[in-house]
């Protein structure tokens, strides 16, 4: 009985780790996508500012904060791992950067394979 209880606990632990890693991977993807969108919006606002200083400042701020947000998102995973190592908590059991990168690659591969119109076939 104790053996099967350990197995269930280990299985739940692995599922929790996968859930945390997938959550972080999705958060990084969403943050990256939103950063690109806000950089695009800032660029359009900059172009359409018509030389008005207040609109130019607002557009530059939008671009700046989008880039800062993306950097903070990526650094958050690295900082959590570093602080965990300093404190003595093994965060690599819960947050594996290589696993997050693998999940992001799997997600992008599935998006590329499911979308895209003609699917890479040439038209005659």
Please, how many CA atoms are within 13 Å of residue 103, restricted to the half-sphere of its CB?
Answer: 19
The least confident of 6-20, 31-45, 101-115 is 6-20
Query: What is residue 72's predicted lDDT score, i.e. its pLDDT?
Result: 87
The candidate with the shortest Cα–Cα distance to 81, out of 19, 31, 21, is 21
Q: What is the pLDDT of residues 68-108, one digit of tens each?
A: 988 888 788 778 778 777 877 666 666 666 777 787 788 88
């Amino acid at each position: 009985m104790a053996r099967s209880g350990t197995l269930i606990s280990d299985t739940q632990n692995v599922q929790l780790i996968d859930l945390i890693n997938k959550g972080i991977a999705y958060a990084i993807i969403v943050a990256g996508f939103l950063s690109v969108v806000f950089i695009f919006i800032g660029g359009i606002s900059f172009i359409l500012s018509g030389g008005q200083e207040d609109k130019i400042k607002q557009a530059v701020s939008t671009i700046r904060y989008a880039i800062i947000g993306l950097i903070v998102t990526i650094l958050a995973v690295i900082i959590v791992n570093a602080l965990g190592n300093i404190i003595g908590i093994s965060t690599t059991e819960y947050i594996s950067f290589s696993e997050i990168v693998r999940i992001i690659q799997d997600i992008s591969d599935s998006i590329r394979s499911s979308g895209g119109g003609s699917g890479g076939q040439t038209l005659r």
